[in-house]
Amino acid sequence: MSLPKTLIIGQPFNNNFGGGITQANLFGGWDKDKIAVLCTSHMFNNLNTEICDTYYILGNDEYKWSFPLNFLQRNIASGPVKVRESPAGATAGATGKLRTKIIDKYFYPFLEYAGLFHRMSKITLSDKLCKWLDDYAPDVIYAQATSREGVLFCIAVQEYLKMPMIYHVMDDWPSTISQKGPFKKFWHKRIDRELRTLLNRSTILLSISHDMAEEYKTRYGRDFTTFHNPIEIDFWKSHQRKNYELGSSPAILYAGRIGPGIDTSLETIARAVEQVNSKFNRSVQFVLQTKDKPVWVDKYKCVRHKELVAYSELPRVFAEADFLYLPYDFSEESIRFIKFSMPTKAPEYMISGTPIIMFGPGETALMKDGKRNNWAKVVTENNIEALAEAINDLVTNDDMRKEIAANAIRIAEANYNSVKIRNQFKEVISSIAS
């Protein structure tokens, strides 16, 4: 099959974000000279250069902040970049981390409350970018956008190129993008109108789950085709767990991001494990493998924090754990955001062969799927005692561990095989490129 020349907007191929990992797995096997990415500099790190090495960085020529915030804008050079390996120094240092935390925790929430956040910046088509787009001459556009500026930029690029566009939704961000301040209804309605313009300009719409496709059909009146993160079966089977005996100190592992939507449920399992150890005289451990160490970790004897490992090490790490933890928070805002999502790590957890513990709201697509198909021990009650009982059940029930692990492997092989899904993805994009 001759693959179309594809321009990707918004999401680089990186290992930091679910969208970047999913995108890399979908585009695996694509010709490198037929993929190019438009993205901002703050996502330009930990790149997967096996898939794509041609980027255009949206810098000061395109990314504009409104007065007087433009005085705070960093000087980022615009233009094409040929990446041979992940850019050195792209990860923020201690000062950069502190600056980012202050901006995220105080500055952005203030701007959102004041009704300024969604108009403080925009991305425009500079002469330099237009020339680059003309020279690259793509056959099709693939876009991910989760902000107003991102939506408007996708519309602008599609209008300039007049090429068919695919828009892929990873989370229900439209439900949570404007939740604070006296102007929230104004911005919610305005962004909804602009998003509908993007949807109407898209030839094909993709969702991350079947539940999302059904909800968006009702909400927006358009059909969405589901493409979730596919996995390399042989890569993950290289260390697949096959022994379900437990040692004296079984370990529950959570590996991935920390932040909105999961923070509370991470601490909840720490409290539940402490209760299991105290009530049933056990020594279960909860291992957090995250970029940053949460402030609450040292409060619990059962918790250990580990640094992140390379993606290539994850099959071994997941298989060596006794249990894997997949949480969601129960807050209304979290539910709105993740209700229709399927985490990138879900099929990776499933194929590992390690029994999975899931904790989160029962109305989410993830919990419904895990419960319906029995590929995880699912707890949908926001209750420490219920979670502790579930953990103890798994520790004491060898047959349960084997059953849910076997179901998870079977479903992952049937539904998330990258060879099969990539072929379907190629057919979808090729069908509109002509």
Q: What is the pLDDT of residues 84-117, one digit of tens each?
A: 765 543 444 444 555 556 666 666 666 665 666 6
23: tokens are: 């995108």
Cα dihedral sign for 232, 235, 238, 241? negative
Contact criterion met (CB below 8 Å) for 264 and 291: no
> Which residues, other chains included, contact 365 with Cβ-Cβ below 8 Å and sequence gap of 6+?
209, 210, 211, 212, 339, 340, 341, 342
Residue 89, pLDDT score: 39
Contact criterion met (CB below 8 Å) for 202 and 182: no
Residue 262, pLDDT score: 86
Contact criterion met (CB below 8 Å) for 248 and 281: no
> Which residues, other chains included, contact 340 with Cβ-Cβ below 8 Å and sequence gap of 6+?
171, 172, 207, 208, 209, 211, 212, 215, 364, 365
Give, for 373, the enclosing helix (H) or strand (E). helix 365-373
Q: How far is CA 265 from CA 98, 256, 278, 334, 357, in A?
A: 25, 14, 20, 11, 12
Question: Could you give the CA distance from residue 99 to residue 93 in angstroms, rounded to a whole number?
Answer: 10
- The pTM for the full model equals 0.85
Residue 104, pLDDT score: 62
Residue 73, pLDDT score: 65
The radius of gyration computed from the CA coordinates of the chain, to the nearest angstrom, equals: 22
- In sequence order, what DSSP letters do the residues of 116-154 get, joined into one string? -GGGSEEE---HHHHHHHHHH--SEEEE---SHHHHHHH
pLDDT > 70: percent of the chain: 90
Question: Could you give the CA distance from residue 160 to residue 153 in angstroms, rounded to a whole number?
Answer: 11
Residue 246, pLDDT score: 95
Residue 107, pLDDT score: 62
**For each successive 10 residues of the chain (434 residues), what is the average pLDDT?**
91 85 92 93 82 93 75 79 62 49 62 67 93 96 94 97 96 83 83 97 96 96 95 93 94 88 91 96 96 92 93 94 96 88 92 97 94 97 96 96 97 94 94 83
* Residue 292 CB burial class (10 angstroms; 0-12, 13-18, ≥19): middle
391: tokens are: 């953990």
Question: Could you give the CA distance from residue 273 to residue 284 in angstroms, rounded to a whole number?
Answer: 6
In this structure, are strands 303-306 and 285-289 parallel, antiparallel, or unpaired? parallel
